């Protein structure tokens, strides 16, 4: 079962929360809703000319916010449990009425349903409708009818009093809900932008492999891990042969296509625990944790062969690459490690290119 579908039922909106985050938000709203249902936390208004005092509780706000933030099903469940626990704590469970629990659940469900299904995107109008419609249907109509049929309370008078109360409550609930929802959405959109920027810093746009910065950070971590656990670590340095001539002869568009195709080959030939990075221009590096030099030579040979069979139009000549393989030696620093792989690469260049050399 895809639990995200319970968080939100409108896929066009995207999911504001993961299931774990939704549970945390629901718990916070639940605690606030139950706390504010305590009789001592009810706001009392006295209007001139009106005999009865108006009692305004903020619990309905958090029930409706549950539906707006998490979706109709979460809003319904939140409303039901808030009503059940609040009655149990502040009045005694014998005072609990299933009918009131149902309409409290209906308030959260309606708020979520209206917000996600009647409006294609977040707006002030969406918040107004999501708050005002449940308030009118539940607080102004449903509650007086239950009181009338259960206790004989005057129906029309109750409707009039509750309608007057909603004139005070609804603008307050709408304002709070709008700024809460907008703040959460903007915060998550900002986080999404930051994650996108982080991904851009980690992945080379042209080749799809790691950037130099991200690769070096990974190298530092794997170096420390190899040292602590006495595990083998092998580095492959690779450089395309005659790449400047490709750019000069066929243009940079063809050169970029070559780099992109080569990057795809590198990515396809490594394991999930390995990493390939573009160190600059036509130079690549592959880090192989837990791999001995002999195994790395096999990987490098396979990459060299795949690249040599690569065909990019309109090039007629083959694309070749030289690779140098170096293991992490006892007592060597990160700089020593990189230097050894570079030396193996230069050895291959000196001895004819299009080959794999081990230092």
Instruction: Select the CATH number that applies to the domain covering 4-200 from these four: 1.10.1760.20, 1.10.300.10, 3.30.160.60, 1.10.645.10.
Output: 1.10.1760.20
Run of H or E including 169: helix 155-202
The per-residue pLDDT for 234 is: 97
For residue 166, which of 199, 126, 138, 145 has the smallest C-alpha distance? 138
- Paired residues of 119 in beta bridges: none
pLDDT score recorded for residue 168: 82
Domain positions in the chain: 4-200, 212-358
Question: How many CB atoms sit inside 10 A of residue 165's CB?
Answer: 18
Cα-based distances in Å from 239 to 280, 351, 357: 10, 14, 12
What is 317-346 written as a DSSP string? SPP-EEEEEEE--TT--HHHHHHHHHHHHH
CA distances from 191 to 197, 198, 239 (A): 10, 10, 37
pLDDT of residue 324: 96
Q: In the prediction, which pLDDT does 233 show?
A: 96
pLDDT in tens, the chain (359 residues): 343 444 444 444 555 677 888 899 999 999 999 999 998 888 876 766 556 666 788 899 999 999 999 999 999 999 999 999 999 999 988 888 999 999 999 999 999 999 988 988 889 999 999 999 999 999 999 999 998 998 888 899 888 888 888 888 899 999 999 999 988 888 877 777 667 666 667 889 899 999 999 999 999 999 999 999 999 999 999 999 999 999 999 999 999 999 999 999 999 999 999 999 999 999 999 999 999 999 999 999 999 999 999 999 998 889 999 999 999 999 899 999 999 999 999 999 999 899 999 97
pTM exceeds 0.85 for this model: no
Distance, first Cα to last Cα, the chain: 53
Q: In CATH, which of 3.40.50.10860, 3.90.1150.10, 3.30.70.270, 3.40.390.10 is domain 212-358?
A: 3.30.70.270
DSSP-assigned letters across all residues of 97-132? -HHHHHHHHHHHHHHHHHHHHS-SS--HHHHHHHHH
Measure the CA dihedral 160/164/169/171, to 10°.
120
Tell me whether the omega of the peptide bond preceding residue 314 falls within 30 degrees of 0, making it cis: yes
């Amino acid at each position: 079962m895809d639990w995200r579908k319970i968080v939100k039922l409108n896929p066009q909106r995207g999911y504001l929360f993961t299931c774990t985050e939704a549970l945390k938000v629901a718990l916070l709203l639940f605690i606030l809703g139950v706390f504010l249902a305590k009789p001592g936390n009810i706001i009392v208004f006295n209007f001139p000319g009106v005999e009865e005092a108006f009692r305004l509780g903020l619990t309905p706000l958090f029930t409706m916010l549950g539906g707006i933030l998490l979706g109709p099903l979460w809003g319904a469940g939140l409303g039901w449990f808030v009503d059940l626990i609040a009655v149990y704590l502040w009045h005694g469970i014998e005072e609990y009425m299933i009918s009131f629990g149902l309409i409290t659940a209906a308030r959260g469900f309606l708020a979520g349903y209206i917000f996600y299904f009647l409006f294609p995107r977040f707006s002030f109008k969406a918040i107004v409708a999501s708050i005002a419609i449940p308030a009118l249907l539940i607080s102004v109509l449903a509650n007086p009818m239950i009181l009338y049929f259960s206790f004989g309370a005057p129906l029309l008078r109750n409707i009039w009093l509750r309608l007057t109360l909603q004139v005070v409550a609804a603008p307050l609930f709408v304002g709070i809900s709008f700024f809460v929802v907008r703040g959460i959405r903007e915060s998550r959109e900002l986080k999404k932008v930051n994650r996108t920027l982080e991904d851009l810093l980690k992945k080379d746009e042209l080749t799809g492999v790691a950037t130099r910065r991200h690769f070096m950070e990974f190298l530092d971590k794997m170096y420390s891990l190899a040292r602590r656990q006495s595990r083998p670590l092998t580095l492959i340095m690779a450089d395309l042969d005659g790449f400047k001539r490709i750019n000069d002869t066929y243009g940079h568009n063809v050169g970029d296509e070559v780099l992109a195709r080569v990057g795809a080959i590198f990515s396809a030939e490594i394991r999930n625990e390995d990493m390939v990075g573009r160190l600059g221009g036509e130079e690549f590096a592959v880090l192989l944790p837990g791999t001995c030099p002999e195994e790395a030579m096999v990987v490098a040979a396979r990459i060299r062969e795949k690249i040599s069979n690569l065909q990019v139009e309109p090039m007629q000549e083959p694309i070749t690459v030289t690779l140098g393989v170096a293991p992490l030696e006892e007592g060597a620093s990160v700089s020593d490690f990189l230097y050894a792989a570079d030396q193996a690469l230069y050895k291959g260049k000196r001895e004819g290119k299009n080959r794999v050399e081990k230092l």
